[in-house]
Chain A
């Protein structure tokens, strides 16, 4: 036996806390499992030949990736919030918006309910304040 750690993190508490952050979905194992094929589909767009095939016919390309109907619908609608709900991770999904010629800022902004212009202006004015969006329960 090696020396016992003095203090262990309780994994259930560790994971449960993530749900207390407003407007945020942390990429936990549970989400990673749910989004496995969605994320792997997005990865496939790192190859130019795949991007071409995808551009020619989005829906047909998606047929090869074992996606749920909700995942397919979210991709076709370029609804990034819905993709993240379905287990997508933004770094994987960046391959999709990059293939569409979109920037990180445009994609991130699209998830906030603001227009592209409003979001860009908020960033220039110093970004979103953490005030009130740190904790749902705590309300701070």
Chain B
């Protein structure tokens, strides 16, 4: 049977993609960020850790979905998805190759499990989907595994509640486990962490909130999932609401997880960046060494 073996969280900001494209990923500003991701990249390429399929949870940033259609939870069921032109030409990265059999299986299972999914075939994917792939896999000619794009609306209010996202993750887990083929499946939650991109309060960063969020996500996601939207907005900035998507990833890993690696960095452009590598406790491998890395301005007393 298929199994969700791993959860990864990642930032998906366009500036990371731009740093790769312009060859500045090793400069003074971006170097520490890419260095912080390196252990995840080494891990995933090594020791049998490469997934067969990633269910990649992200939000579409007014790209495939405009004001015409605003699906709360959707799933891409096509054979492939091309990178979108978001105003500066498409990102020069490989097409995302889907897994229609598993995607349709998950879609059907979720609907039977009371999550009334929106199903997409013809859909372009934006930086929300492709930047995490670049951060974890680097710049290969083809992505090394299949990817099921799973867009969540966090742009037009109201987005789904944390509790709903957490429950959805649990349903994704059950759906994957009822797929007959033997597949190593990852669920990735992307976006965040604290950031605000608009208005006089733009530039907000809340390290305390973020570190607490990471801790609760690992150890007490149930309580975390009950946090109301207003708290995300006040504490983590208007765009920090993307963090509800991390709860989908967490819900898909079951009750207890082991944190193999945590990376936290301030700032990546307008944002605080968090990248986590988690596995269900019963099948977890050894944590990486070092297990926790903070860099940039986040270096001050953190633990």
Contact = CB atoms under 8 A, between A and B. Distances in A.
A36 B228 CA distance: 27
Contacts, number: 166
B86 A128 contact: no
A23 B199 contact: yes
Contacts of B209: 130
A46 B201 contact: no
B62 A108 contact: no
B201 A126 contact: no
A91 interface: yes
Contacts of B235: 130, 134
A61 interface: no
A133 B62 contact: no
Contacts of A63: none
Interface in B237-292: 238-239, 266-267, 269-270, 272
A108 B66 CA distance: 21
B295 to A, nearest CB: 13
Interface in A89-125: 89-92, 94-99, 101, 103-105, 107-109, 111-113, 119, 122-125
A126 B207 contact: yes
Interface stretch (B96-104, B131-139, B151-159, B211-219): B151-159
Contacts of B66: 39-40, 43, 92
Nearest to B63: A46
B15 interface: yes
B110 interface: no
B302 interface: no
B87 A94 contact: yes
B124 to A, nearest CB: 9
Contacts of A43: 62, 66-67
Main SS class of interface, A: helix
A105 B270 contact: yes
Contact of A26 (B63, B157, B297): B157
B61 interface: yes
Given A51-B87, A126-B267, A127-B203, A104 B197 contact: yes
A7 B142 CA distance: 48
Given A26-B238, A46-B84, A46-B85, A127 B267 contact: yes
B200 A104 contact: no
Nearest to B60: A91
Contacts of B85: 46-48
Main SS class of interface, B: loop
A66 interface: no
Given A22-B201, A40-B67, A48-B85, A123 B155 contact: no
A17 to B, nearest CB: 5
Contacts of B202: 23, 108-109, 111-112, 119, 128
A84 interface: yes
B67 A32 contact: yes
A18 B207 CA distance: 22
A84 B266 CA distance: 26
A8 to B, nearest CB: 12
Given A29-B157, A47-B85, A103-B15, A94 B198 contact: no
22 contacts: A9-B228, A21-B201, A23-B199, A23-B201, A24-B199, A36-B67, A42-B62, A46-B63, A91-B61, A91-B62, A92-B66, A98-B88, A108-B196, A108-B198, A109-B202, A111-B199, A112-B201, A122-B203, A124-B267, A126-B298, A128-B201, A128-B203
Interface of B: 13-15, 18, 61-63, 66-68, 84-89, 155-158, 194, 196-207, 209, 228-230, 233-235, 238-239, 266-267, 269-270, 272, 297-298
5 shortest interchain CB distances as A-B pairs: A127-B205, A98-B87, A23-B201, A23-B200, A126-B297
Interface of A: 9, 14, 17-18, 21-29, 32, 36, 39-40, 42-43, 45-48, 51, 80-81, 84, 89-92, 94-99, 101, 103-105, 107-109, 111-113, 119, 122-130, 133-135
